[in-house]
Structure 1
Amino acid sequence: MAVSSLEYSSQFDHTPFYCEENVYFLCKKLCANGVADADGSDLYVVFISNEKKQIPLWHQKASKRADGVILWDYHVVCIQRKRGGDSPCLVWDLDSSLPFPSPLASYVSETIRPSFQLFSEYQRFFRIVHAPIFLCFFASDRRHMKDPTGNWIAEPPLYEPIVAEDKTVHNLNEFIEICAEDISTNVGAELINDVSNKKLGVVMNENQLEEFFSQVSQ
């Protein structure tokens, strides 16, 4: 009996408005249950944002519009790319109303909608971080989810905050600070190597995203 996307996605921890933590535990579960490589080497964590912290994405469950569009300050998803073979590149987005997971090409077409003309302040940039690096170094004490008086903007998960292996307690801001001048100019072997070695990965624009993942598989 086939499992629906909704049933499947419900197997993963999901706290609204804590997408970075949701993806952290999603990666761990995909590795643990054999869907991904045990070390997460076929997984990439993708931070989507820009200088203005205004990025439109479609088919988001938090939207109140029929087309599911919402203006996030940033968003985080996981992209899986098996090396070799003809396996499709998959996007794992627990906040999306699209099939879970979705092939990258359809996710880009439906969620990012590159054909939709946007004002420059709404251009989306993508920080690609290799999951094994992310799982070692990411940390968040959730300070970004408190207002100036210390109250929660959105209720946090019940589990303890994520602490990095080097005992860092908060570096989320380093991952979500994305600007146009950080964009890599060429997608090639050097860029792929940088993703595998740099704590903060590499930054690219939406036109480079699919090209990058097509080259990762080679």
Structure 2
Amino acid sequence: MSSRLGEEVLAEPTAAGRSSVDGLPIELVRRGPVPPARDCPHVKYYCEENVWKLCEHVKANRPEELTSCYAVFISNRNRAVPIWQQKLQKSEGPVVWDYHVIFLWTNGPRSYVYDFDSCLPFPCQFEMYLKEAIRADTLLQPEYHRQFRVVDAPTYLLKFASNRKHMLDENGQWRSKPPPYPCIRTEETDDNIQDFISMEEPTVGFGNVLNLEDFTHKFSQPLLS
């Protein structure tokens, strides 16, 4: 996973700044299927493995919640997706990732996002994450519109593999220090991360690829009539 800062992605200038964000009640953090962020093993720039480790934790400690959890890959054909409220963010503008991966948990009608790279709460209410971190595609030039590959946690644990070669530079050096544990692999392969990053569905990869509108509809709390 790599990023670019300060890139011009907006369709037109905007003066909108960040809104204030309050933390979630401690009861919600305790009720969630994963520990607080400080107690979760995670390595910078390896978001796909960080999320896999969260899924592994749920399977071992809260197996009844595993089918309510998802790995969500965010990317597009151009491998350029703006996301706001990131810890790398140097200004009001977004960080432009080639891809990003978040953990998503559904609890009844509500959904929550766990993003180690975000300044937002961990977990963050889905609607808040959309408003603060994703924002509307109408603000962006078309080449920066985001797509979302949603993979249920059991499938992600079974099918995801990475030999981490995408994190090597042209000289074979690590762009960022890898996690200390062995590479994640399956019985079939030692690397298929590009199939998860790809937004060419249904011919490639696992799960379902959604645009922002469909992603919002799938996980937003239904409005009361």
TM-score tier by shorter-chain length is 0.7 to 0.9
Tell me, in whole angstroms, the C-alpha distance in 1 between the residues paired with 2:185 and 2:58.
Answer: 20
Deviations 1:108-161 (A, max 9, x none): 111101166100110000001111001001000000000121111111111111
Match of 1:51 in 2: 77
CA distances 1:62-87 after superposition (whole Å, capped 9, x unpaired): 2222x3720100000111113xx44x
Query: How many Å apart are 1:13 and its aligned residue?
Result: 1.2
**1:13 is aligned with what amino acid?**
P
Task: Write the distance in 2 (CA, Å) between the matches of 1:199 and 1:169.
Answer: 15
Specify every segment of 5 or more residues in structure 1 that has no aligned partner in the other structure, as ranges. 184-197
Cα distance in 2 for residues equivalent to 1:130 and 1:13: 21
Structure-1-length-normalised TM-score: 0.80
2:80 counterpart of 1:74: no
Aligned to 2:117: 95
So what's the TM-score if we normalise by structure 2?
0.77
Tell me if 1:205 matches 2:211. Answer: yes
Measure the CA separation in 2 of the matches of 1:68 and 1:30.
34
What corresponds to 1:24 in structure 2? 52
Aligned-pair CA distance for 1:214: 5.1
Secondary structure of 1:78's counterpart equals: strand
Could you tell me which runs of 5 or more consecutive residues in structure 2 were left unpaired when the two chains were aligned: 1-24, 30-34
Q: Which range moved further: 16-25 or 106-115?
A: 106-115
Equivalent-residue separation in structure 2 for 1:143 and 1:72 (angstroms): 18
Separation in 1 of the partners of 2:71 and 2:156?
7
How many equivalent pairs are there?
192
Q: CA RMSD in A?
A: 2.7
CA shift at 1:44, angstroms?
Answer: 1.0
1:175 matched to which residue of 2? 196
Aligned-partner SS, 2:36: helix
Change (3 A) 1:144 1:78: same
Q: Which 4+ residue blocks in structure 1 deviate beyond 4 angstroms?
A: 1-5
